[in-house]
Amino acid sequence: MKITLLGTGDATGTPVIGCNCPTCQDALKGTKSQRTRFAVLVESSQGTVLIDSGPDLRYQLLKAGTRHIDGVIWTHGHYDHFAGFAEFHRVQYNVDVYGLPETLEYILDYLQFLHPKKHEREMYEPFNLIGLEFTLFEVVHPPVKKSIGVMIREGDTKVVITGDTQRGIPQKSIDLIMEPDLLIADAIVPPTVEVKKHMNTDEAFDLANEIGAKEVIFTHLSHFFAPHEEAIKEYPLGYDGLVFEFPVK
Ligand SMILES: [Zn+2]
Ligand SMILES: [Zn+2]
Ligand SMILES: [Zn+2]
């Protein structure tokens, strides 16, 4: 399987409109500090699945050279995770969408002019798409009542995407996501910035340690980090377009 971080930004993206901070100034030059909104592309020999469809999706799919989407899994009903769905809907009709019943209901109410093929899925019940096994697991992202992360398995390979979450992920989820080959973790800010709905970098490192992740990469990043080339000396920050392949080549 191949995983591409299409968008590694938080809800505002970086640069933030109207911001003069060093990171936003760096991002305006088109460096890796430039971060579009959240989406992850999962590919196998059989097809292509998106985890979330942030508002920058058109640009992201063009850049990744993606020609067709076989399914979209939505983690939760926040604008920065679903609002780009219409970006390919007029190119490709009848897209299969997956998620918790309440998440699908909320998003499809917002996107009521679109009629994708809805597939309700429950937490902790694995299902197969494009030859890969996907499992949704509960995370904690108030005020969203039910928010999920996604675990993807292919043979012995295990990839975990936390989705938007605080550190207090339920034990049932922790037991499920133990020892992944790759943990893609929400780490919106360095610990110097206070945050309630997400993990900071300390908490994301702590989660990676607890579950024994072989590799961890941070995403959903804000402009509160130093410019990318400086910040990566301290943190394993992802960037838009970063690719992981399994088995590792
Ligand atoms: Zn978000
Ligand atoms: Zn800024
Ligand atoms: Zn969110």
Mean pLDDT of 13-33: 98
Q: Which residues surround ligand 3, an ion (CB under 5 A)?
A: 78, 164
The pLDDT, as a whole number, for residue 91 is 79
pTM of the complete model beyond 0.85: yes
Report pLDDT for 151: 98
Q: Which ligand is nearest to the CA of 10?
A: 1
Q: Which ligand is nearest to the CA of 139?
A: 3
Which residue, among 24, 44, 43, has the nearest Cα to 35 in the 3D structure? 24
Task: Note the pLDDT of residue 169.
Answer: 98
What pLDDT does residue 88 have? Answer: 80
HEC profile of the chain:
CEEEEEECECCCCECCCCCCCHHHHHHHCCCCCCECCCEEEEEECCEEEEECCCCCHHHHHHHHCCCCCCEEECCCCCHHHHCCCHHHHCCCCCCEEEECHHHHHHHHHHCCCCCCEEEECCCCCCEEECCEEEEEEEECCCCCCCEEEEEEEECCEEEEECCCCCCCCCHHHHHHCCCCCEEEEECCECCCCCCCCCCEHHHHHHHHHHHCCCCEEEECECCCCCCHHHHCCCCCECCCCEEEECCCC
Q: Note the pLDDT of residue 90.
A: 73
Between the CA of 141 and the centroid of ligand 3 the distance, in Å, is: 7
Residue 89 has a pLDDT of 74
What spacing in Å lies between the alpha carbon of 17 and ligand 2's midpoint? 8
Ligand nearest to the CA of 52: 1
User: Ligand 2 centre and the CA of 215: distance in Å?
Assistant: 28
pLDDT band at 94; cut points 50, 70, 90 = confident
Q: Look at residue 179 in the predicted model and tell me its pLDDT.
A: 98
Q: Domains of the chain by range and CATH?
A: 2-245 (3.60.15.10)
What's the gap in Å between 186 CA and the centre of ligand 1? 9
Q: Which ligand is nearest to the CA of 143?
A: 3
51 has which bridge partners?
40, 73
Distance between CA atoms of residues 212 and 96, nearest Å: 33
- pLDDT tens for residues 71-81? 999 999 999 99
Averaged pLDDT of the chain: 96
> Between the CA atoms of 16, 17, 22 and 26, what dihedral angle is there, to the nearest 10 degrees?
80
Is the pLDDT at 108 greater than 90, yes or no?
A: yes
